[in-house]
């Protein structure tokens, strides 16, 4: 697999296709729904748990040309030949595609993702070991407590204040802000003190 260019795609409100109706397909659908995508599932047989999700379901085999209706396609059937056919069709249509267990035919891979509110931490092994990616994600997830959401909110408010004053946020020494013990203050429940520390750091930037 060649080196990959990591991105966070905005799929909210955009049509995405998952081909397959089993447990693997359901996990892919859940990830897309969490990001606000409009998901269609195509498969002759579809798991009832998947049908219960807010998706459009077409109970039929995949047909050539289906991929061209979508911005992103995931082939998640248990048939490698079907996945390969979907991937080839999507690639020909210029649509980004991920084929389960088939790196060579995928134009993107899916990282293991830890979420804490708006914070997203993605761990990828370039598709070489999903198990390692999931193991690393669980370790990160265990340390990603609610205090990080509070920290994010304070930093976001500070950026808005700086921009409202007509200043650039690029010149702020954010690493020093984050190393100023703010997180420990938040963990101790002293959010007011954390905000004061933030303001003191910004005033000296």
Buried b / exposed e over 132-163, threshold 16 CB at 10 Å, is: ebeebbeeebeebeebbebbeebbeebeeebe
* CATH number given to 111-144: 3.30.160
pLDDT band at 2 (very low <50, low <70, confident <90, very high): confident
Q: Find tokens 């296709």 and name the residue.
A: 17
For the chain, the structural domain boundaries read 1-110, 111-144, 147-203
Total-model pTM: 0.79
CATH class of 1-110: alpha beta
pLDDT 10s digits, 37-53: 999 999 999 999 999 99
Instruction: Compute the distance between CA of residue 103 and CA of residue 80 in angstroms, rounded to an integer.
Output: 12
Instruction: Compute the distance between CA of residue 144 and CA of residue 37 in angstroms, rounded to an integer.
Output: 25
């Amino acid at each position: 697999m060649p080196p990959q260019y990591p991105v966070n795609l905005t799929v909210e409100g955009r049509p995405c296709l998952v081909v397959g109706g089993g447990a693997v397909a359901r996990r892919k659908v859940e990830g897309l729904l969490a990001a606000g995508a409009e998901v269609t599932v195509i498969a002759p047989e579809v798991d009832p748990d998947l049908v219960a999700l807010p998706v459009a379901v077409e109970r039929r085999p995949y047909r050539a040309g289906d991929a061209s209706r979508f911005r992103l396609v995931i082939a998640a059937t248990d048939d490698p030949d079907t996945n390969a056919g979907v991937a080839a069709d999507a690639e020909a249509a210029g649509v980004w595609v991920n084929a389960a267990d088939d790196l060579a035919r995928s134009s993107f891979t899916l990282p293991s993702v830890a979420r804490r509110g708006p914070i997203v931490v993605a761990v990828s092994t370039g598709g070489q070991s999903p198990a390692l990616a999931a193991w690393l994600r669980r370790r990160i997830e265990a340390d990603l407590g609610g205090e990080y959401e509070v920290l994010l909110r304070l930093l976001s408010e500070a950026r808005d204040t700086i921009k409202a004053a007509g200043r650039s946020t690029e010149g702020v020494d954010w690493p020093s802000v984050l190393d100023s013990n703010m997180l420990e203050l938040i963990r101790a429940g002293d959010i007011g003190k954390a905000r004061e520390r933030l303001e003191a750091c910004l005033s000296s930037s």
